[in-house]
Chains A and B, each alone.
Chain A
């Protein structure tokens, strides 16, 4: 038995989907079109930003381009 436990830090914080920030909706769509996930039957979602500003720890505001695998 691998006894690591249900910790949010290692299990939830560091896994990830792809998020890219673009200056405008048009840029975001252009960016989404270049996404290599299409070659594998994946999908891309363009979303408006949820947060504005940047915090002290390297997180920045963004327009989101999320994509999923196959």
Chain B
């Protein structure tokens, strides 16, 4: 399935580059046909090189369709004669062009004239190979909304005669920022997303990492910010294996088995962080990577460098304050300075509209109350978090906390000292 999604992304980008952005639907049809024929042909066993098989099938299908359509549509001049056609398609589908065509597609869809939501939608469709229905599920949006965004994207791209190479884009800086932000949203959706049945989806994180790698492979886009984002992804992805337990409920950081974190990923993160540290520019990705790094390399919560984490959040809040950043800083302050200081910061955020509907705000309030042994206040806050929970995994993890307080109160007696702990 991953091979199909990835080849879909690769081939749609490569064919759009030769057919022109006005022919995206045609490119999608060619790739769709190639994948369907692969599914039929592979019923009784996989070919030796499945990827090459799919590319070959798309190659043949593209040539058939272009020949048939040549009278009715206008194609780029290099597709006019039959030998030129074969050579052009060969070159476009060659392994050497694989990264460049997807990079060109990614920068084309992150058009300043389109909204952020549309950027992410188009990346999920054309660079991750998800269907409109799957994208709708991933973001809790109905399929019509996704179709409308795809339509806006196609219309905008049609205005381009060809998919430009990234080096030649006049607004490459603006687009790069949009690409990085979209990849961050994609990763975030995989790390902790909105699908109620499946809140952690590592494949979206892997795709975000793969697409960030495309930026780092090309000279024009291998910016320190892209390295910082790659570092952030590596540190957070390293922790994915321990975030859910066998019942698919969230495990608190303190109980996550750090020996199961992916060491190789953390090493790669450190390498990217070092390469991000060129120039004098400190983006929000640098700061978030710094925070994620402290968590990834710490041996325990107690031995985590909360000083540094609070300092990074401080800078992040100065640079791009948001209620979410303030919430996370408050929790880091609670670890560094004590529960009361953290609690004070959280209460100061009570007026934020966005947070009042955010389950983790109430869970954070509840957590500090619980650890300060104010169980009634903790329970009230957990109940608000439960009412707002977006998935069973979130809800059950909050219910367990209430349950833990009930049990620790209900059965206390001489000889048994128990406390719930974070």
Chain A residues with Cβ below 8 Å from B398 are 15-16
- A40 CA to B29 CA, complexed, in Å: 49
Chain B residues numbered 185-204 whose CB sits less than 8 Å from any CB in chain A:
185, 187-188, 191-192, 194
Cross-interface CB contact of A69 among B139, B232, B255, B400, cutoff 8 Å: B400
- A34 CA to B415 CA, complexed, in Å: 17
Least CB distance from A31 to B in Å reads 6
Subset of 21 A-B contacts with CB under 8 Å: A9-B327, A9-B331, A10-B364, A11-B250, A13-B367, A14-B364, A15-B251, A15-B252, A15-B363, A17-B245, A18-B407, A18-B420, A19-B420, A21-B418, A21-B419, A22-B418, A23-B415, A57-B335, A59-B371, A68-B245, A70-B247
- A23 CA to B360 CA, complexed, in Å: 32
Cross-interface CB contact of B407 among A1, A20, A57, cutoff 8 Å: A20
- A9 CA to B156 CA, complexed, in Å: 39
B256 on the A face (CB < 8 A): yes
Interface string of A32-46 (1 = CB under 8 A from B): 001111000010000
Chain B residues with Cβ below 8 Å from A15 are 250-252, 363, 394, 397-398
Chain B residues with Cβ below 8 Å from A7 are 291, 324, 328
Query: A8–B291 contact, CB under 8 A?
Result: yes
Identify the closest chain B residue to A18 (Cβ).
B404
Besides A3-B188, A6-B292, A69-B247, 7 more A-B contacts (Cβ < 8 Å) are: A8-B239, A9-B364, A10-B327, A14-B367, A15-B252, A16-B422, A69-B400
- A8 CA to B247 CA, complexed, in Å: 21
Cross-interface CB contact of A57 among B185, B295, B371, cutoff 8 Å: B371
Identify the closest chain A residue to B393 (Cβ).
A15
Chain A residues with Cβ below 8 Å from B324 are 3-5, 7, 10
Chain B residues numbered 238-260 whose CB sits less than 8 Å from any CB in chain A:
239, 243, 245-247, 249-256
